């Protein structure tokens, strides 16, 4: 439990607001879907951040409620790079096994994110 929360804290500190090279991601992540998601998100929002507001750990799971923020420098959801800063609420649940993330489930406030990219809203929903 505590070790898993420590792992997620270290993982987020290592990647949030910084470049996310594959070798660094592999240190923490063995879930291919999460590794692919990080690579795609990093391409669209280089050095994006996840700001943690709450973290809860139980057994092999750690849940994070927070905010995604970044500047769109690449294509995302069919929208070419806008250079706009975005913020959107998210919840991620990680499953940890042998000191690495093996599975994840994420809910991102995509409507808020897309509205900001399209220039129709600046609000953040958590």
Give DSSP secondary structure letters for 59-116: TTEEEEEEEEEEE--S-BTTBPP---EEEEEEEEEEEEETTEEEEEEEEE-HHHHHHH
Radius of gyration of the chain from Cα atoms?
Answer: 14
Mean pLDDT in each 10-residue stretch from start to end of the chain (126 residues)? 87 95 96 96 96 96 98 95 96 97 97 92 51
pTM of the model: 0.89
Burial class (CB in 10 A: 0-12, 13-18, 19+), 78: exposed
Q: Which helix (H) or strand (E) holds 34?
A: helix 32-44
**Domains in the chain, please, with CATH?**
2-117 (3.10.450.50)
């Amino acid at each position: 439990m505590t070790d898993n929360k420590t792992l997620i804290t270290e993982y987020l500190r290592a990647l949030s607001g910084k470049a996310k090279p594959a070798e660094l991601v592999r240190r923490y992540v063995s879930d291919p879907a999460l590794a692919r998601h990080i690579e795609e998100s990093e391409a669209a929002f280089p050095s994006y951040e996840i700001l943690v507001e709450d973290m809860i750990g139980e057994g092999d799971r750690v849940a994070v409620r927070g905010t995604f923020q970044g500047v769109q420098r690449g294509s995302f959801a069919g929208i070419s790079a806008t250079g706009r800063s975005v913020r959107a609420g998210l919840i991620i649940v990680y499953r940890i096994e042998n000191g690495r993330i093996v599975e994840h489930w994420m809910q991102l406030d995509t409507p808020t994110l897309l509205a900001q990219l399209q220039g129709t809203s600046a609000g953040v929903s958590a």
